[in-house]
Amino acid sequence: MLNILFNNGRDGGLIHLSHCMSCKKRGVSEIIATLMLMSISLIGTVLVLSFFQNADIANIVGSSEVESSLKSIQLVGYDTRDSLGLSGISSLSNILDAKGLCTTSCSSNPDLIPINSGTEFVVLDLRNNGGESIFLSSLVINDIKHTFDSATSGAVLDASVNAATCTLSCPYPKAGKFSIVPISDNTQKSTNEIVVGQEVRLVIKLSSDISSDIKLTKPLVVQIDTNRLDQEVFIVPTGGAS
């Protein structure tokens, strides 16, 4: 190796040129290492996002239920089948066609019941495990907001007949909305309050604004607004019940 000495210009000392060159190499190596770490982090983020957008149900079943048991609001069950008698309610059914849950394809008359080409239903069973009441003002399914339908107040849940023009004591929620039904009976609650320790069913009529019909092999991403500082997020399988 060629060693060249030169004056450092300050105290007359001599510095090996080869030493300076190794300093530069170390600096370049550190920059390359930093760039590689940033690339790995970016790739990891992309892979995680891709997983949740494209993963089959088999890869994620149950994960949300385990995690939710540690939160104030717990997802204890669901019924997202393309079938009859959702959540054991004989008057609450979807079209049994194995095509998935109809949303945007049913946008012409979304408030009609599914058998008449309205959007379809899903049911979530929730329990308040916290120390105070929870008020469910809204929830988001696949990036589309659904709100509490106060027009269902006090009415018995019955989606066997059309009620698209109903404005008071409606038998089921409109598209893009949900009602709250106790476990003990099918009378829809007059408020969006879930008291401490209470378990309820959210009957959700899917919005026609969801960008595409929901295939039975893809999950629902559900964000629940409890009127607190944070939101609860659940990954819910479609095409099944628990």
Query: pLDDT tens digits, the chain, 242 residues: what are they?
Result: 444 444 444 444 444 444 555 555 556 577 777 777 776 766 765 555 555 544 443 334 444 443 444 468 899 999 999 999 999 999 999 998 878 899 999 999 999 999 999 999 999 999 999 888 999 989 999 999 999 999 999 999 999 999 989 999 999 999 999 999 999 999 999 999 999 999 999 999 999 999 899 998 889 999 987 766 567 899 999 999 98
Q: What is the pLDDT of residue 229?
A: 59
**Residue 34 and residue 142 in one domain:** no
* Residue 129 φ then ψ, to 5°: -95, 5
Pairwise CA distance, residues 121 & 133, whole Å: 26
Q: Does 97 fall in a domain?
A: yes
Q: What is the pLDDT of residue 41?
A: 66
Q: Does 7 fall in a domain?
A: no
**Residue 44 and residue 75 in one domain:** no
**Residue 174 and residue 148 in one domain:** yes
Q: What is the pLDDT of residue 97?
A: 83
**Residue 68 and residue 133 in one domain:** yes
Q: Is-above-0.75 flag for pTM? A: no
Tally of domains in the chain? 2
**Helical segments of 55-172, H only:** 63-68
Range of 28's domain? Answer: 14-53
Q: Could you give the 3-state DSSP secondary structure of residue 148? A: strand
Pairwise CA distance, residues 34 & 32, whole Å: 5
Q: Does 184 fall in a domain?
A: yes
**Residue 113 and residue 206 in one domain:** yes
**Residue 71 and residue 37 in one domain:** no
**Residue 153 and residue 168 in one domain:** yes
Pairwise CA distance, residues 194 & 51, whole Å: 33
Going by C-alpha positions, the residue among 185, 86, 195, 207 that lies closest to residue 141 is 207
**Residue 47 and residue 60 in one domain:** no
Q: How many CB atoms lie within 10 A of CB 109?
A: 15
